[in-house]
Amino acid sequence: MKAPFPLILVLVLMGLLSGCAVLDVSSLETAIPLQPRRVEISTNQSIGIDLETVVLQDEDLNNGETPPGYRPEANSVTGVQAAIGLQNDMEAGGRFWLSPFNYGGRIFLKKLLDKDVNRYFAIQPAVTYLRSYDDDPGESYIYTAIGSELQLLYTLKASSNFALTLVGRGNINRYQEQYTDQNGDEIVYGPYILFQGGLRGNIELRLHPFFFVPELGIEVVPVVNGETTLVPVIGFALGVEL
């Protein structure tokens, strides 16, 4: 079949328009790996977690206490993803997001662990990287996070065009902030070890070769020097299988 290159180009350009410095915590996956040498390209729009707001410095506290009602910020993030099917019920891929003040990505490997008729169970480990910056006149801020992620996916494939997936995910990040003042002096905050995780539910709708995946979930976010909070997340992916 001839690849719909105009659509692929649109998907890639959408993925380059991310506007916020946030960590993408969406799944938008199923437990069903691609067949060997099959390729998927997609773009996704979702709610991510701003890691800067997950860490409260001393100056952010009120007399040493967390500000009443404080919650970490959740902002929109846009990404583009590509994946390829491998042998032995495996799939490899990566997701990348970019904006004027942020770039990051995820490299993952999906492995099917069990299949029973139309039920699938898979594991998907990944490594992640995020770097964002804010340049003000005479001073700058740089935020970096290096981490790993694990997803457990259970999919019920009702038909060739419809699948339901439940996802449990968690990640750990080594997060650091670097501030440079007008005199060129640097102040480093951290590194901090950040843990997050949550549950997702999504529906995959396919009309070959296209697919659409809406997703809802909840993220558990422990705040450094603060309290553990629950953040609702929503997202969708739109793509094509080649």
Q: What is the pLDDT of residue 6?
A: 53
Q: What is the mean pLDDT of residues 165-186?
A: 90
Question: How far is 74 from 188, CA to CA, in rounded Å?
Answer: 24
Q: What is the pLDDT of residue 121?
A: 98
Q: Which domains does the chain have, with CATH numbers?
A: 5-241 (2.40.128)
Residue type (1 letter), 38? R
Question: How far is 72 from 50, CA to CA, in rounded Å?
Answer: 7
Question: How far is 104 from 130, CA to CA, in rounded Å?
Answer: 4
Q: What is the pLDDT of residue 231?
A: 93
Q: What is the pLDDT of residue 26?
A: 94
Compute the Cα dihedral for 82, 113, 198, 173 and give only its sign: negative
User: Could you give the angle at the alpha carbon of 86 between the alpha carbons of 6 and 214, nearest 5°?
Assistant: 55
Q: How many CB atoms lie within 10 A of CB 210?
A: 14
Q: What is the mean pLDDT of residues 55-78?
A: 80
Please check the confidence at residue 19 and state whether its pLDDT lies above 70. no
Q: What is the pTM of this model?
A: 0.86
Q: CB neighbours of 164 closer than 8 A, spacing ≥ 6?
A: 155, 156, 158, 201, 202, 203, 204
Question: How far is 240 from 22, CA to CA, in rounded Å?
Answer: 25
Q: Which of 220, 165, 224 is nearest to 198 (CA)?
A: 220
